[in-house]
Amino acid sequence: MDFFGNLIGGFQTALSLHNLYLCFVGCLFGTMVGVLPGIGPLAGISLLIPATYGINATGAIIMLAGIYYGAMYGGSTTSILMNIPGESASVMTCVDGYRMTQKGRGGAALFISAWGSFIGGNLSIVGLMILAPLLANFATRFGPPEIFAVLLLAFILLGSLGQGSFFKTMPMIILGMFLGTIGMDPLTGTLRFTHEIRDLYDGIGFIPVAMGVFGIGEILSSAEGSIIRIVHRVKLRELLPTRQELRASWAPVLRGSGLGFIIGLLPGSAHILSSFVSYAVEKKVAERPEEFGSGRIEGVAGPETANNAATGGAMIPFLGIGIPTGPATAVMMVALMIHGIRPGPLFISEQPQIFWGLVASMYIGNLILLILNLPLVGIFINLLRVPFRILFPLILLICLVGTYSVSSSTLDLIVLLGSGILGYIFRKLNFDLAPFVLALIISPLMEYSFRQSLMRSAGSFSIFLSNPITITLLGACGLLFIWNLISSLRPTKPAWKKALEKD
């Protein structure tokens, strides 16, 4: 079937009443998750996984993806109206967005943010539907050595792009990879680090670790202090931007779309990074950069567009080759695996109704989110009036039940709590947690492909240098490693990295 035929088929799937309903639920829940500080898209997706057991894989992924991109929309609301980022990708929006609110232009900031998110989101879906099948087609040529090289490059990129220095992020990746080795060895059946605990034979569950690190860990951090919330009200008529504001935001929206999409392809916290880079670029190209921080619409339009465009980019490696580049896409992959589907190079050709149904639902979801985040923004603002001391016990309970429901194991709950404590400690120590969680899910595949490669070549490492793909990928790994080594010896850091560390 041709490209447009597939897309029409996707719309037929996405527009069924059942899938429309699931898309709406995902977008609504995603916006709520984005609005509420303390719950990110990852915790949101994990919490709704049990709700997908009774529905088919297409409906499940449509709903979970809705939470993912919906959270990016919702995150801007708290940043603009309260100066508190509802989602980590909205940190930069606080700078100029809240200033605009103080000047009485909060409504316009919300409008431009939602509009930019809509444009960025849609453009990135166009990129997704063009690039993902191409990447999948290319990846069918991949054998174990190529997969190992891709994953090694992904880890080195993760280390380079994470918060803090390369040599601070790499130990987190190694720790995550080490945890990933727990359980039964897939090649020999040998039990590793299980200490005769039967529930550990399948390894440490990804969901308990991700929920613990990002859900429980976040709550433990938030419980240390109290957040005083001053919520600004916005009337419907205040949402309309002036002609000058609209004119000023077009270029940042287009630049943010391109930047966000490209950065979304990179492993790690791409949506956070994209908003920082977009802000830095807007400041760089502005005629009066000194005005940034005092309520410039470009400072809202660029980052908000970029973090939404990054969601489409992040879906490409996940759906095209089955390698998630961020914790949120990793949880979506686990959800698909629960339904018996493993994304990989053959996923798009073997499960076209899921892929194209998801793509079409993302267009529909972006439209739903535009409506939810503009005329209905007042409803979500009311959510912020619920005191945190009522909200967090409820979030804790949902995390516990959500984790238990996956495999009815008490050990999973202990892993959840342990990961929460670990997440809390590493948060206090200023370490990036996304690489740790990603390494946990990717490391079994990396080990498997490494050992399989050596078995194929009778122990010769030359197999990793036997074709142009592995040579290019490993060459890039080497160059990146040397670049990181040199930059760790130099005291200067790029502006976006400084901003990330400050956060």
Going by C-alpha positions, the residue among 316, 340, 339 that lies closest to residue 329 is 316
Question: Is the CB of 251 or the CB of 400 nearer to other proteins?
Answer: 400
H or E, element range at 192:
strand 191-192
Could you tell me the CA-to-CA distances from 295 to 80, 94, 236, 292 in Å, in that order?
10, 10, 20, 7
Residue 181, exposed/middle/buried by CB under 10 A (0-12, 13-18, 19+)? middle
425 lies in the site for other proteins, by CB under 8 A = yes
Q: Which residue in 3, 21, 138, 193 binds other proteins (CB under 8 A)?
A: 193
Contacts of other proteins in 142-181 (CB under 8 A): 167-168, 170-171, 174-175, 177-178, 181
Residues 360-389 touching other proteins, rule: CB under 8 A, are 389
**Closer to other proteins by Cβ: residue 244 or 462:** 462
Rounded-to-integer distance, Cα 372 and Cα 100, Å: 21
> Please, which residue, 254 or 413, has the CB nearer to other proteins?
413
| Least distance CB 160 / other proteins (angstroms) | 16
Residue 416 C-beta: closest distance to other proteins, Å: 8
- Amino acid in the structure at residue 295: G
**How far, in Å, CA of 424 to CA of 419, rounded?**
8
Nearer to other proteins (CB atom), residue 41 or residue 423: 423
Q: Does 216 bind other proteins (CB under 8 A)?
A: yes
Rounded Cα gap, residues 298 and 300, in angstroms: 5
Q: Which two tokens stand for residue 162?
A: 């994470």
By the rule CB under 8 A, 450 interacts with other proteins: yes
Q: Which is nearer to other proteins, 57 or 170 (CB)?
A: 170
| 51, 346 contact by CB (below 8 A) | no
Q: Exactly one of 7, 454, 465, 469 binds other proteins (CB under 8 A); which one? A: 454
Site for other proteins contains 248 (CB under 8 A): no
- The amino acid that residue 327 corresponds to is P
**DSSP string over 78-135:** HHHHHSS-SSGGGHHHHHHHHHHHHTT-HHHHHHHHHHHHHHHHHHHHHHHHHHHHHH
Q: Is 244 in the site for other proteins (CB under 8 A)?
A: no
Q: Beta partners for 191?
A: 184
Among 394, 479, 482, 495, binds other proteins (CB under 8 A): 394
Which two structure tokens, joined as six digits, stand for 435? 């690489």
Binding of other proteins by 223 (CB under 8 A): yes
Q: Does 69 bind other proteins (CB under 8 A)?
A: no
Shortest reach from residue 267's CB to other proteins, in Å:
19
Q: Is 408 in the site for other proteins (CB under 8 A)?
A: yes
Residue 220 beta carbon to other proteins: minimum distance, rounded to whole angstroms: 4
Please identify which residue in 146, 298, 304, 447 interacts with other proteins, judged by CB under 8 A.
447
Angle value at C-alpha 313, between 374 and 16, nearest 5 degrees: 60
Alpha-carbon gap, residue 439 to 471, rounded angstroms: 23
339 binds other proteins (CB under 8 A): no
DSSP structural state of residue 490: S
Distances (CA, A) of 451 to 75, 116, 174, 185, 444: 42, 46, 18, 11, 11
Report which DSSP code applies to 374: T
From 11, 24, 363, 426, residue interacting with other proteins (rule: CB under 8 A): 426
User: Measuring CA to CA, how many Å separate 272 from each of 176, 310, 443?
Assistant: 21, 9, 24
**Which range of residues in 84-92, 114-122, 415-423, 467-475 is near other proteins by CB under 8 A?**
415-423
Note whether 430 binds other proteins by CB under 8 A: yes
| Minimum separation from the CB atom of position 191 to other proteins (A) | 9
The residue from 56, 294, 353, 405 that contacts other proteins (CB under 8 A) is: 405
Is residue 503 part of the contact set for other proteins (CB under 8 A)?
Answer: no
Taking each helix axis as running N to C, give the angle between helix 57-82 and helix 17-35, from 0 to 180 degrees, rounded to the nearest 10.
30
Does the protein bind other proteins through residue 188 (CB under 8 A)?
yes
Smallest separation (angstroms) from other proteins to the CB of 43? 15
Backbone angles phi, psi at 268, to 5 degrees: 110, -155
Binders of other proteins: how many residues, by CB under 8 A? 60
Nearer to other proteins, 69 or 450 (CB): 450
Binding-site string for other proteins from residue 456 to residue 495, where x marks contact by CB under 8 A and - marks none: -xxxx-----------------------------------
Per residue, the 3-state secondary structure of 233-289, as one string, reads CCCHHHHCCCHHHHHHHHHHHHHHHHHHHHHHCCCCCHHHHHHHHHHHHHHHHCCCH
Residues binding other proteins (CB under 8 A) = 50-51, 53-54, 167-168, 170-171, 174-175, 177-178, 181, 185, 187-188, 190, 192-193, 216, 219-221, 223-225, 389-390, 393-394, 396-398, 400-401, 404-405, 408, 410, 413-414, 417, 420-421, 424-426, 428-431, 447, 450-451, 454-455, 457-460
